[in-house]
Structure 1
Amino acid sequence: MRPHAGAPLSRRRFLARSAAGAATGAAALSGCALQVSTGVGGSGETVTLMVKPDDISPELVKQARKDIGVKIVTVRYDLTKLIGMMTNGNPPDLVRGLGAVDAPYFAARDVMEELDPYFARSSVLRLDDLDPVNDLWRYDGRTQGQGPRYGMAKDFSQDSMYWYNTALFDKAGLGYPPETEPVTYDEWLDCAKRLTRRKDGQTTVFGGSYNGVLTPNLLASLTVSAGGSLFTDDFSRVDFTTPEARKALGWYIDYCRAKVGPSLVQPDPNAWDGPTYQANRMAMSNSGYWLGGLINADKKLAPVSRLAPAPVFEGGRRISPCQAGTGLWMPRRARNKDAAWRVFEWFFGEAPAKARASSGWGIPTLKSLRSLMPAQEEYQKRVLKAQNAELRHFSVIAFTPYATADSLYALFNQIAPAAMQGQMSVDTLAGRLDSVMNEQLKRGKEQVG
């Protein structure tokens, strides 16, 4: 049982509990345990989802009405609007989020409903069927990856894996990367340099893209791969000066300085890898399995595209994390929890989940749906073999609960370009990142309490 909260939380107090005002936060936002869904309720109800347009299409909204009798109303995801709705005591019933970075942040602020009782009674979403990636949505009050479940990923990729175009490798006279054994990060960068093509001072072919989902969780993953941790044991500070974090940061700055792929100092006009890779202007893209949804639709590109394991640092650990794990969570003060859970079950375990699994846009997060992943063509079988071999190397890379990834990303983007352009040493950059990020984390820790 949790302390009862009567009146809606004041906006001022809500913001004071958040990290630098970046997102929502509150101490006690629900009453005692509520009766949970048996998986058959919700018909005739209305459920509000705060999502991005790509998360759920108008067609799926109509399908929900037909399949489970629930009317879905969507509100465009916006952090400021979410804060307003939650402080006014009228939150959405379900909210989109990235499990890899959002789960510890919101769970630490006690604004998420614990979903274990719902999972325990569900015949659709069984615990023994959940892929380990869903552990990104767990938080025990200290460490991500264990404790109560607060959400679920709709699909996922191991985002340090990369696609490569064999036709561009052939053109450069290079051998292909192994499909089940990792190359080192240094080998990957050397290969990217050899694959890059320039004309009249312009890059015509990027040798390789390696930016991850957001730079802070990319660097957290790279540091673990190097054998360390970007965060201190209590996640209250970063330390870019440890040998492992310095190696990770140094490698990423080397990548940016080499201008073999998109970065802050050499942006891709397309803003993401997909169109550039599809136009044969990018030889390698660390987009993970989900880019296969685009690749499979291009019958010329698909047969020459292959998926390779996440690289490793010499002497480091072999890991292959997910840096997103996009899914949904339920606010603790949501008013329509049973109907929201019915939508949750349907979205993650029924028709929409099956359609996503067969599309190639991500790995299903229920193990029972893996058989639906595209495997009709020889090239699809090849990709699936590489992906299945990589699954055993997945692990949760715990992120700090004391700041949003976006806020740390903004700080990185302010400081790092000078280093990327060779105007600042990596050691100086490490010190400056520690200074500004730790100030942000300190404020966040004070506000969580």
Structure 2
Amino acid sequence: MKKRTKALLAWAAVLTMGVSVLASCGNKTASGDSAPAGENKAEGKTALSLAIWDEKQRPMMESLVEAYEKEHPDVTVEVQLTPYKGGEYWTKLEAAATGGKAPDVFWLNVLHTDSYVDGGILADLTDAIAKSDIKDNFPESLVNNYVRDGKNYAVPKDFDTNALWYNKEIFDKAGVSYPTNDMTYEDLVAKAEELKKAGLPDGVYPFACPVDFQTWYYQTVFANGGWILSEDKKTSGYDDPKTQGGIQCWIDMIDKGLSPSSAALSETSSDAMFEGGQLAMNFAGSYMVPEYAGNDTIKDKIDCVELPSFNGIETNCINGLGYAVYEGSKNKEAATDLAIWLSSKEAMDIQGNAGVVISARNESQELFAKSSDKYDLSVYTAHTDKAYPLPVCKNAAELYDMESKALQKAYSGEESLADACKALKVEADAFLAKNQ
């Protein structure tokens, strides 16, 4: 118990650090309040708590709970929402776990899995998953996201990939044809240059190239034959010329004036600029669809296509969330049953039809695309079988933060990419040696 408590208390700095760099898996716009976990028995029923962080998904999660309670009349489930922003979700979860009162079931992302396994907070779901149909009906990469030392610690919930969005009004006024699904990186650059040459209004750019690993440069790094982490998680690949080539391509677009500066993008995100009509094109994760579709300023002016290929390779990076069960739950069996049920076709169809995220279950993935008659959201699932999983390691948030700070110097022109990556390699490898 002492070891678990010590590990939990040590997470605070790492978990909070990760928030500034991980803008994915629905992490951008959560808000709301969370009630503390209640007693495990209420009115003769088993009472479970389910922790989430995204207000946009609350109605969908409540629909799932309603369906589960209908099938399990002896169980009640309370949805508890705590905002992700500022690390509040993880800080509260950590404090609750330290006190032995964490939610019975809670959202988990890959970034925090290793630390939570070490902290003893996650129940081993290996046997429960083996008895279910999960391994036969979910992408192997998503199931393996939560496997550590042969044990599975979460049930896949959803996943996110990326697409190229564009503002039709800006293209129309510039007299430039719209992006298409068969574009290459070179086509993207040519399209951006054509927009710039046509003369865009002041403050409007063809594209944006922020220091964003999952949505931008990891995809081109992998397509270029580069790598971030070795298979044994002991070495980083930042000094590999192929890795640097997959990053330099975005810096080149900034240098050509096709994107706002890195300083400008540090103050105003590319999503905010796109929603404000300041970008003709932008990459965006599938978790941003509800926000784009709900923005009255742009929702009728935009559409999306597949990401441009790079070196002839279809690029995309896949990541997602899972449902984890608290090891210290007083009703761990019931909590595990809920987590497994949430992977069922019934549950995944409810989630898919809501149109807020892409359900992880294979046969439910297409429902995300069908949820909109305005945008072709099938671009998000077009090449999921070829998508690259997010590279993770123990305390990955700290590595991502280290990476972001180093690359910011290259994006700003303060250092060459080669010099920035050389220093990053030394720092990252020392970090990895301490986190085995």
Identify the TM-score tier after normalising by the shorter chain. Answer: 0.7 to 0.9
SS in 1 for 2:278: coil
Counterpart of 1:96 in structure 2 is 107
Kept in 1: contact 2:215–2:283 (CA 8 A): no
**Structure 1's 165 and 352: CA in aligned 2 closer, same or farther, altered over 3 A?**
farther
Q: Tell me, in whole angstroms, the C-alpha distance in 2 between the residues paired with 1:355 and 1:210.
A: 35
Which amino acid is 1:280 matched to?
A: G
Counterpart of 2:45 in structure 1 is 44
Give deviations 1:258-297, integer Å, cap 9, x for gaps.
5544674113766461x54344332222113443334445
SS in 2 for 1:325: strand
Kept in 2: contact 1:112–1:330 (CA 8 A): yes
- Say which of 354, 361, 386 aligns to 1:366: 361
- Say which of 383, 386, 393 aligns to 1:390: 383
Counterpart of 1:130 in structure 2 is 138
Q: Tell me, in whole angstroms, the C-alpha distance in 2 between the residues paired with 1:403 and 1:362.
A: 26
**Percentage of identical aligned residues:** 18
Counterpart of 2:321 in structure 1 is 326
Kept in 1: contact 2:155–2:340 (CA 8 A): no
Counterpart of 1:164 in structure 2 is 166
Q: Tell me, in whole angstroms, the C-alpha distance in 2 between the residues paired with 1:197 and 1:156.
A: 38
TM-score of the pair, normalised by structure 1: 0.73
TM-score of the pair, normalised by structure 2: 0.75
Which amino acid is 1:369 matched to?
A: S
**Structure 1's 339 and 256: CA in aligned 2 closer, same or farther, altered over 3 A?**
farther
Which amino acid is 2:413 matched to?
A: G
Counterpart of 1:176 in structure 2 is 178
SS in 1 for 2:263: coil
State the Cα RMSD in Å.
Answer: 3.9
Kept in 2: contact 1:193–1:260 (CA 8 A): yes
SS in 2 for 1:22: helix
**Structure 1's 376 and 433: CA in aligned 2 closer, same or farther, altered over 3 A?**
closer
Q: Tell me, in whole angstroms, the C-alpha distance in 2 between the residues paired with 1:419 and 1:173.
A: 34
**Structure 1's 130 and 9: CA in aligned 2 closer, same or farther, altered over 3 A?**
same
**Structure 1's 238 and 116: CA in aligned 2 closer, same or farther, altered over 3 A?**
same
The answer to whether the aligner puts 1:12 opposite 2:13 as a matched pair is: no
Kept in 1: contact 2:368–2:377 (CA 8 A): no
SS in 1 for 2:435: helix
Which amino acid is 1:372 matched to?
A: L
Counterpart of 1:439 in structure 2 is 430
Stretch moving more, 55-64 or 285-294: 55-64
- Say which of 241, 244, 247 aligns to 1:243: 241
The answer to whether the aligner puts 1:150 opposite 2:153 as a matched pair is: yes
- Say which of 72, 77, 86 aligns to 2:78: 72
Counterpart of 2:310 in structure 1 is 313
Kept in 2: contact 1:219–1:230 (CA 8 A): no
Counterpart of 1:188 in structure 2 is 188
Q: Tell me, in whole angstroms, the C-alpha distance in 2 between the residues paired with 1:328 and 1:263.
A: 38
- Say which of 93, 110, 129 aligns to 1:82: 93
Show structure 1 runs of 5+ residues with no match: 1-6, 25-42, 142-146
Q: Tell me, in whole angstroms, the C-alpha distance in 2 between the residues paired with 1:105 and 1:221.
A: 25
Give deviations 1:306-364, integer Å, cap 9, x for gaps.
3322333326x434221x30333224343322222343245444776434322432322
Give deviations 1:176-203, integer Å, cap 9, x for gaps.
3331x3412x442443354359999x95
Counterpart of 2:207 in structure 1 is 208
**Structure 1's 423 and 388: CA in aligned 2 closer, same or farther, altered over 3 A?**
closer
Kept in 1: contact 2:358–2:368 (CA 8 A): yes
Which amino acid is 2:415 matched to?
A: M
**Structure 1's 64 and 14: CA in aligned 2 closer, same or farther, altered over 3 A?**
closer
User: 1:379 offset after TM fit, Å?
Assistant: 4.6
Kept in 2: contact 1:196–1:203 (CA 8 A): no
Q: Tell me, in whole angstroms, the C-alpha distance in 2 between the residues paired with 1:153 and 1:363.
A: 11
Show structure 2 runs of 5+ residues with no match: 17-43, 83-87
**Structure 1's 140 and 402: CA in aligned 2 closer, same or farther, altered over 3 A?**
closer
Kept in 2: contact 1:198–1:205 (CA 8 A): no
> How many residues get paired?
400
Kept in 2: contact 1:107–1:139 (CA 8 A): no
Kept in 1: contact 2:219–2:388 (CA 8 A): no
